[in-house]
Amino acid sequence: MLLDGCCWEVQGWRRVICESPGDQDYESTDIKQTFAGTFLSTIADIASFGGLFGAALADVLDGIDMELERRYCCPPDSAKKWKNCRWHGQPGSCFDNHCDIGHQVQVTQSDYGMGQSCFPRMERTRVFCCDPADGKSPFLPVPLDHLFKHPPTGDNVDTNFDIKVDNTWGDGHADTSTKNDPDQATFGFWVLTSPEQLQISLDKRDGSHWEVFNCNDAVSEEEQTVQMICTDVSEQSNCGKISLGHGVPGTILEMPKGCGPSKYAVAKSMAPSKDQTLPHHLAKRNFGHKPVVYDLTFDYEWRRVPRDLGDTQLRVDFSNEVVCFYHAKLG
């Protein structure tokens, strides 16, 4: 899947490389994210480069004598889509040189990321990883047709997934040196996919423009009513997705953490609330409009999900065994 912004995706990770000046021209408005290369002079504090980007990073690099220099950059609009970017792979060995599974994007890799090498483990490389700014991973860890016999197709497919890895096997004491490698730990992995008309996230971490409040019951499986507002009423708002199918009733809701006992619920009704009072933490925010408070009622009656708009499919995999791979030559 080609991603918005600069350059291309290779084997599930995104590469955004701008050569250093003199090797290749690049747009002067591009924002420098990080760099790679080897220093020809002593640098007092390499770690201090980790917090620099854009013009500040470029100014420092212009005054440093380096070889094999590369500067990694993005156009301004694309740069806004990433946060918490940093190099993974400990200097001197490049141990733990992978991004956080299921969420981070591997933007690029280099033998000399941020001026630090893997020597003496020269077979390894450092990797530069970023979190999506909207909290949503831009690609799935595996194609849907590898998981489902008849997955939904087209541009309007809504898919959510998560993976949890535990190298303590539940006892709190780490048994392997890598925290996030499912080959060396217990793991649980799930994927839920359905046509866009059937499913919406109300979780801000997934980029939802709905703000849900008064979620006071994280245990009961009975019908519940909470309040919510739409924080963005522009053309880019995703609030309207909640009624794309046959209206709100029957829509699958991905709930914020602590709002009900399950990550997913089924919408029963939504209507403007008689009480339009906002809680203090929302009243003091400037949304640029006067938000309407809605009463949202939901439960866990899955039989009310419409059947004529397509199928919702769920795949769950889990294991508490270390995965071993054996290779054999046949014949």
Segment 110-167, tens digit of pLDDT: 777 777 777 777 667 888 888 877 766 555 666 788 888 888 776 667 777 777 778 7
The DSSP H or E segment spanning 77 is helix 76-79
Q: What is the pLDDT of residue 229?
A: 97
Q: What is the pLDDT of residue 212?
A: 96
**CB count in 10 Å sphere of residue 276:** 13
Q: What is the pLDDT of residue 243?
A: 92
Q: What is the pLDDT of residue 297?
A: 97
Model pTM above 0.75: no
Q: Which of 146, 136, 16 is nearest to 79 (CA)?
A: 16
Block means of pLDDT (10 residues each) for the chain, length 331 residues?
34 41 50 67 53 60 64 75 80 74 72 74 78 67 78 74 75 67 74 87 86 89 95 91 93 91 93 95 91 96 91 84 46 32
Q: What is the pLDDT of residue 230?
A: 96
Q: Which residues are 44's β-sheet partners?
A: none
Q: What is the pLDDT of residue 306?
A: 92
**CB count in 10 Å sphere of residue 16:** 23
Sequence-separated (6 or more) residues with CB below 8 Å from residue 281: none
Q: What is the pLDDT of residue 39?
A: 61
Q: What is the pLDDT of residue 305?
A: 93
User: Do the beta carbons of residue 54 and residue 31 sit within 8 Å?
Assistant: yes
